[in-house]
Structure 1
């Protein structure tokens, strides 16, 4: 019976330590999420400070304020989750402590009985009499082993009680620390809520300023859509041209090989016919190196670095509601990232520069090949690379144009995939590290 109690006590200790590790992992995840949100808030605040130096409100300012409000709300939600997690942990540990205390009572009662027994049989001669009164030798050996085991159990019981008490005190101290941390989170939560209200007020003021000149906004929007359409067209033509040139090169090399093969076989008419028919069947296949690079690019989905070191997304991929004009939507083939004025643009992965374009309204455009994938960087005022250059991840490839207000720059970034000769656009947000 005593042995069973010992095993159960050790099981409880294991259960507590496992629960503690699980709750710690959950806490670490929430803390990591909090750190990311606070970093985003810091970046957006820095950009907003630059924008506000201008005399007039801008769409960039409004978009950045919206990002700030959204991230602060996410941060408040994160605080709520951390508080709930702490409360659940405290509740769970309280139950575990109660269970430990019940088991301590039982262990102490058992220990008490063992002490009474030991006291009654403390006489050394009594132990000897107990052994010598055995009916045979084997029974005497068993009684000796029993007395030895009884002594060991007494010592183990004492150690288990001490260990349980130590665990309880440690858990209580941990709970107190979590309660203190919870209070700090509550205070931070109140501050964040107040800041959200200030940001929403600032957003409303910016909105009212921009709505005063709706006609100018509509004209600006139409021009932007025209520039986007031209950018889309030029990017598509550039990638298709690159694919066509690669296919032509592959076909030419295949014809050359077929011609050499026909000459080596005696230039017979039959072999020429065979060579001619084989060149017609040539289809473009990428090199092993490029195929491997494309697979490596795929494996880094969700982990790619941003095309700028610091920035905040001001327009997402696909359909976007205009921040000031009701029932007006824009369509983005990539994402727009607000960044400090004239920021450096960098390649998000190893690759080869296949195109450097100059498009009115989009500045210079760099296209980089990563196997079957292409990344596009536009709105550059200067390009540091040329067609054919090999680039590495995070290598600077150019600098951004300044926005009209002159306080920020906007990086436009796209990802495309070539599938069986056709070009397909992909949502870059799903590929960049968050």
Structure 2
């Protein structure tokens, strides 16, 4: 065995465990974010269940809980798979090191046996002084030195391998304990997930008995959506009636703002600190009335009571007020050729014409009689509706 072999082995071990440590850190960070989402959804669910009756808000919170707990279980499974991989690698390394240790011991035994034969014959001095020339004497002295160094190296290599084997055994025991903890965690999460699915089925069944009320709610939301679209159309028409060079999107400041807004796609902050998307963009099946297709010009974000609503980008308020069939207020902010729309807001703190900055609070999320705190958020480019989800940063 040579020193180079151990150098390569140690480099390999260091590299392997460095990579797995990085993967584990990434998984744990993902798990941490998922747990935060679960805590948010749990708090929101508690708020909606205070009403002691099944509501769409409660169903949305349950659906989010199911989604996030499924993600958590997936993260746990990935951690278990990573540990399996680590343990398998440790077993392979252990077997290789154990085999190398046996070879090293055999080599060392042969070396000691050869040296004892030399010693029993005439000893080191006799071996040196029986040289026929001075050059041969020097060569024999060098040979004995190398032989002595080889013995020391062999002993060091044996000790190094024994230490690595000991570390591997301890590492494997530790990882087995980690794995057992994760398996128990996975079982507990699966039980919680099944409980949520049972609750989901019960809520859907209860809501299914309120079909007329649900349809009435859908129609009210449709009328409110049309009112907002008409309102934006009027704002666009009013802007278009101005001289070309005075229109906001055509001014130097407006062009800079438009370009800057576009550059921040996928990076805009959320309009609320906590919450989840309870209804996505575009056409989708109703969560209870499966035969009914609903259309959303933005996204609905369900959050907690009194959650602050914040501006996602610098701009100017072009509308603040109420809309028919919507309990809360509507705020529209222009960012050059783009607009963001915030609905279902109470305690509005801005007015038309105000210059606002990203992160500035403009009010709070309105909570309805069913305990649902949900705002609606839209992004428009002119009259074109855009999917807000691909504009907001990932949570």
In the alignment, structure 1 residue 323 sits paired with structure 2 residue 287: yes
Give 3-state SS (helix, strand or coil) of 1:383's partner. coil
Post-superposition shift, 1:414? 2.4
CA separation in 2, counterparts of 1:304 and 1:60?
Answer: 26
Q: 1:193 aligns with which of 190, 194, 202?
A: 190
Q: Can you list the C-alpha shifts for 1:266-298, whole angstroms capped at 9, x where unaligned? A: xxxxxxxxxxxxxxxxx7665685367336524
* Alignment correspondent of 1:163: 160
In the alignment, structure 1 residue 410 sits paired with structure 2 residue 374: yes
Number of residues of Structure 1 aligned to a counterpart in Structure 2: 388
Post-superposition shift, 1:182? 1.5
- The 5-angstrom pairing of residues 135-154 of structure 1 reads 137=135, 143-154=140-151
* Alignment correspondent of 1:290: 257
* Alignment correspondent of 2:389: 428
Alpha-carbon contact 1:401-1:409 (below 8 Å) kept: yes
* Alignment correspondent of 1:274: none
In the alignment, structure 1 residue 352 sits paired with structure 2 residue 319: no
In the alignment, structure 1 residue 337 sits paired with structure 2 residue 301: yes
Alpha-carbon contact 1:51-1:61 (below 8 Å) kept: yes
Q: 1:213 aligns with which of 206, 210, 213?
A: 210
Alpha-carbon contact 1:250-1:284 (below 8 Å) kept: yes
Post-superposition shift, 1:106? 1.5
* Alignment correspondent of 1:262: none
| Residues 390 and 215 of structure 1: CA distance in aligned 2, closer, same or farther (over 3 Å) | closer
CA separation in 1, counterparts of 2:241 and 2:22?
Answer: 52
Q: Normalising by structure 1, report the TM-score.
A: 0.79
Q: Can you list the C-alpha shifts for 1:146-205, whole angstroms capped at 9, x where unaligned? A: 443433333233223222222222222222122112212222222222222222222222
Alpha-carbon contact 2:128-2:141 (below 8 Å) kept: no
CA separation in 1, counterparts of 2:241 and 2:86?
Answer: 62
| Residues 250 and 215 of structure 1: CA distance in aligned 2, closer, same or farther (over 3 Å) | closer
Q: 1:231 aligns with which of 220, 228, 231?
A: 228
* Alignment correspondent of 2:125: 125
CA separation in 2, counterparts of 1:243 and 1:141?
Answer: 102
- The 5-angstrom pairing of residues 18-167 of structure 1 reads 18-120=15-117, 123-126=123-126, 128-129=128-129, 132-134=131-133, 137=135, 143-167=140-164
Q: Can you list the C-alpha shifts for 1:322-367, whole angstroms capped at 9, x where unaligned? A: 1111211212222111111121112334x22342332414533334
Give 3-state SS (helix, strand or coil) of 1:71's partner. helix
Structure 2 unaligned residues grouped into runs of 5+: none
Post-superposition shift, 1:423? 4.1
* Alignment correspondent of 1:310: 274
Alpha-carbon contact 1:97-1:168 (below 8 Å) kept: yes
* Alignment correspondent of 1:384: 349
| Residues 55 and 165 of structure 1: CA distance in aligned 2, closer, same or farther (over 3 Å) | same
Alpha-carbon contact 1:335-1:429 (below 8 Å) kept: no
Alpha-carbon contact 2:316-2:335 (below 8 Å) kept: no
Give 3-state SS (helix, strand or coil) of 2:347's partner. strand
CA separation in 2, counterparts of 1:207 and 1:391?
Answer: 41
Q: Can you list the C-alpha shifts for 1:92-125, whole angstroms capped at 9, x where unaligned? A: 2101110111111122222233333444556442
